[in-house]
């Protein structure tokens, strides 16, 4: 049962062929069996998950009207607060903290009757592309345990690929949903900025952060998207507009007459040969399904990476100032007579990891007197140019596409000592966050060089997220017809439970 889609599990629940308790226990058993090797979870809430599942079973037995995903288990990235459940953001500085409130995403999950299995591993405060920056050790890719599962949300994507959960929540600041989805052969969506509430999402970069759905199929992802999206008065950046009809789009999968723009600047040199091969094959399948493929140019995208690594660290420098040892988390050097400044300095030195410190220092410098206009101010001007590139491109086509990542999953430790090489993994995903539009990654095959998953990225205008789902569903159906079975059926025996 755990290898089925969430839609198939929901159908089995509706028919009385299984219960949420049985389904939840099966996934808890899978976590116990494989997570010692994968390390997708930081905390498994066995008691809480079984209690949620039992409540859903009682409600179903009583004839209550339930949501489409009621009783389905989910893995939650450890950057979203859940009342009474440890929330660390992958950092020692928050070790032992149990939030007194639920994030809006968690509130919406509970309202939909979705069972939260536990919190997943991540790069510390969502800063990374490999989940190697977690203070609690790296997560391993179920396709090859020597390789990274992407980041920062590698725990959520690895949980899906290892069949530890059929659904997951991630967050995406520069690709942290889409890049892990690409390298694990799963589906991940960054909704339009403001489409899903950020209340209770521990902030890294407030103008870029966005929570979103992760799953193993496009339709499962759409159903989860619809469950967590919507306006929230507690989030000043939340969009007060109807949620795009993503489920209907995922069910239709119609691309006849659609214009699909291939971004020239995201399809050039520097991409692994196998990534290019699978991407080109996917374009052919979409053309065969009735779409028109054209090439578009977004010339300012070449500056996106540099601008991002000024804007995001600047905002992180401000946001992470709140972790001062005074209110929550660990406290170091609190001996008699120690000053508050000394305690704060010692706690931040011990509590923050190397990458977080690097970005705080970079951001503080970019915001400092005499440098603000030259660095942060200029980066925001580049951001505007990137947004205008998207606007002009969408005047010519309905969606834009590119490979999600330049390469397949690299070896753990391979890029750990080279920050720039690590940052380049997000070269194709960052422009989406800079413009605040929607982006999706879905698997489009295995690279012939190494047999590892390749991701196909789809981008849509703001609040037109349904377009991504239409194209994603069409490509998924064409690929399934070509392969004869889901891509994850080829995953190694580690995750091969029935």
- Positions annotated as catalytic residues are 77, 152, 176
How many residues make up the chain in this entry?
A: 498
Q: Phi/psi zone of residue 478: left (φ > 0), alpha (ψ -120 to 50 degrees), beta?
A: alpha
What is the rounded CA–CA span in Å between residue 313 and residue 302?
A: 19
Quick one: which H or E segment has residue 73?
strand 73-77
Determine the 3-state secondary structure of 208 from DSSP. Answer: coil
What is the rounded CA–CA span in Å between residue 59 and residue 34?
A: 31
Q: How far apart are the first and last CA of the chain?
A: 6
Compute CA distances 122 → 89, 281, 479, whole Å: 7, 32, 30
Q: Phi/psi zone of residue 463: left (φ > 0), alpha (ψ -120 to 50 degrees), beta?
A: left
What is the rounded CA–CA span in Å between residue 18 and residue 48?
A: 20
Quick one: which H or E segment has residue 149?
none
- Written as six digits, the tokens of 447 are 């690279």
Give the dihedral of Cα atoms 35, 39, 45, 51; nearest 10 deg.
-40
Q: Is the dihedral angle over the CA atoms 291, 295, 296, 302 positive or is it negative?
A: positive
Q: Do residues 178 and 457 touch, judged by C-beta distance below 8 A?
A: yes
- Written as six digits, the tokens of 19 are 């219960």
Q: What is the largest CA-CA distance in the chain?
A: 74
Helices (H), 324-465: 340-351, 354-367, 378-394, 419-423, 430-435
Using the CB atoms, write b or e for 57-74: b if 16+ within 10 Å. bebbeeeeebbbbbbbbb
Closest of 77, 81, 66, 117 to residue 223, by C-alpha? 66
- Written as six digits, the tokens of 408 are 């397949």
Q: What is the CA radius of gyration of the chain?
A: 21
Q: Do residues 109 and 228 touch, judged by C-beta distance below 8 A?
A: yes
Residue by residue, DSSP assigns 224-285 as: HHHHH-S--TT-TT---SPPP-HHHHHHH---TT-EEEEEGGGSSTTS-HHHHHHHHHHHHH
Per residue, the 3-state secondary structure of 292-313, as one string, reads: EEEEECCHHHHHHHHHHHHHHH
């Amino acid at each position: 049962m755990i290898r089925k889609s969430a839609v198939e599990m929901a159908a089995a629940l509706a028919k009385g062929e299984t219960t949420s308790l049985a389904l939840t226990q099966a996934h808890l058993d899978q976590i116990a069996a494989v997570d010692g090797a994968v390390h997708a979870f930081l905390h498994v809430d066995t008691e809480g998950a079984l209690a949620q599942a039992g409540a859903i079973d009682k409600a179903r037995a009583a004839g209550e009207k339930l949501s489409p995903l009621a009783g389905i288990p989910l893995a939650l990235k450890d950057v979203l607060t859940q009342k009474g459940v440890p929330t660390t953001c992958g950092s020692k500085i928050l070790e032992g903290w149990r939030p007194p409130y639920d994030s809006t995403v968690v509130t919406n999950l509970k309202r939909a009757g979705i069972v939260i299995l536990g919190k997943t591993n991540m790069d510390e405060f969502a800063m990374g592309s490999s989940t190697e920056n977690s203070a609690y050790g790296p997560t391993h890719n179920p396709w090859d345990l020597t390789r990274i599962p992407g980041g920062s949300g590698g725990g959520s994507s690895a949980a899906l690929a290892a069949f530890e959960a059929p659904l997951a929540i991630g967050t995406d600041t520069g690709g942290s949903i889409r890049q892990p989805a690409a390298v694990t052969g799963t589906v991940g969506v960054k909704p339009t900025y403001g489409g899903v509430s950020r209340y209770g999402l521990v902030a890294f970069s407030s103008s870029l952060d966005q929570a979103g759905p992760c799953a193993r199929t496009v339709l499962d992802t759409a159903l989860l998207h619809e469950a967590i999206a919507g306006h929230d008065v507690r989030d000043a950046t939340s969009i007060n507009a109807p949620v795009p009809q993503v489920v209907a789009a995922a069910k239709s999968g119609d691309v006849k007459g659609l214009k699909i723009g291939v971004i020239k600047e995201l399809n050039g040199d520097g991409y692994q040969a196998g990534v290019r091969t699978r991407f080109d094959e996917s374009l052919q399948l979409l053309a065969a399904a009735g779409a028109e493929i054209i090439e578009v140019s977004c010339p300012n995208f070449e500056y996106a990476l540099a601008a991002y690594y000024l804007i995001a660290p600047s905002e992180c420098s401000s946001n992470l100032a709140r972790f001062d040892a005074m209110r929550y988390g660990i406290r170091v050097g609190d001996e008699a007579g120690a000053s508050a400044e000394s305690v704060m300095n010692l706690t931040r030195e011990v509590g923050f990891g190397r990458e977080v410190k690097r970005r705080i220092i970079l951001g503080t410098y970019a915001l400092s007197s005499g440098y603000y206009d030259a660095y942060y101010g200029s980066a925001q001007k580049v951001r505007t140019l990137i947004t205008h590139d998207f606007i002009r491109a969408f005047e010519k086509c309905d969606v834009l596409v590119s490979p999600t990542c330049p390469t397949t999953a690299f070896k753990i430790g391979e890029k750990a000592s080279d920050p720039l090489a690590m940052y380049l993994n997000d070269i194709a995903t960052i422009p989406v966050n800079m413009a605040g539009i929607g982006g999706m990654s879905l698997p489009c095959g295995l690279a012939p060089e190494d047999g590892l998953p390749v991701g196909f990225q789809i981008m849509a205008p703001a609040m037109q997220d349904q377009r991504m789902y239409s194209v994603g569903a069409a490509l998924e159906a064409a690929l399934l017809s070509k392969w004869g079975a889901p891509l994850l059926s080829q995953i190694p025996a580690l995750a091969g439970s029935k």
